[in-house]
Amino acid sequence: MRRTKAEAEETRRGILSAAERLFHAKGLASTTLEEIAAEAGVTRGAVYWHFANKADLILALFEDAPLFHEDLLALLSDDDPAGPLGALEAMVIAALARLATDERRQRIYSMVALCDHPELMSRVMEHKTSMMDAVRLQLSVAFVKAADRGQIAAPWTATTAADAFDWLLHGVISDWLKFGRRFDLAHRGAEVFRLQFSCFRGGAPA
């Protein structure tokens, strides 16, 4: 019952999609390839045809999926009228709003944030950390630009502001995802970030 190339690509995507859902629901380690295959409506044979093994499947998921961190960079406009700092503020608020309404991104971020297995899945971890490093570097550059334009008021500096931004962002997302999404990510997140950015600027809020 061989399928056409298009159909094969469809099953491949179906396997990835099923894996994404199950990994998020049950965790990476306790989800079996058999379950993934069943969820996708195929057998383990299909899974092993498209992917060498479980780690390979997870890596493919990471490469294929829309990562929240890449969203950040995509949403960071270079010529915002409010300058680099305004661009960062708009970016983070937009990114939170997108994450709040996109289940797929939520699942992916959960996997990245909650990944166990530092040894066996070292390849996965490498991919993940290098990616996060790259994003953090870009954000640091943006904060330095903001400082250069005098948008960061003392005693904040480009470094401390970038740290606070980064930690605040990771913290809010982890809290929201890990504990059942019990608050309104987009609104409460945006509120705190607006206050935070007005602190960076050193002035009274708008």
Q: Pick between residue 7 and residue 103 the one whose CB is nearest to DNA.
A: 7
Q: Pick between residue 55 and residue 60 the one whose CB is nearest to its own copies.
A: 55
Bond into 155 cis (ω within 30): yes
Q: Pick between residue 19 and residue 139 the one whose CB is nearest to DNA.
A: 19
Q: Do residues 192 and 203 make contact, with C-beta atoms less than 8 angstroms apart?
A: no
Other beta carbons within 10 angstroms of residue 126's beta carbon come to: 11
Q: Residue 193 CB, nearest distance to its own copies (Å)?
A: 9
Other beta carbons within 10 angstroms of residue 94's beta carbon come to: 18
How does DSSP assign 10-52, residue by residue? HHHHHHHHHHHHHHHHH-STT--HHHHHHHHTS-HHHHHHH-S
Touching its own copies, residues 109-138 (CB under 8 A):
113-120, 129, 132
Distance CA 59, CA 51 (A): 10
Q: Residue 114 CB, nearest distance to its own copies (Å)?
A: 6
Distance CA 67, CA 60 (A): 13
Of these, 33, 55, 131, 199, which contacts its own copies (CB under 8 A)?
A: 199
The pattern of x and - marking residues 20 through 59 that bind DNA according to CB under 7 A reads ------------xxx--x----xxxxx-xxx--xx-----
**43 vs 10, 15, 125, CA distance in Å?**
15, 10, 28
Residues near its own copies (CB under 8 A) are 25-30, 113-120, 129, 132, 155-156, 160, 163-164, 166-172, 174-175, 179, 188, 191-192, 195-196, 198-199, 205
Residues near DNA (CB under 7 A) are 1-5, 7-8, 11-12, 32-34, 37, 42-46, 48-50, 53-54
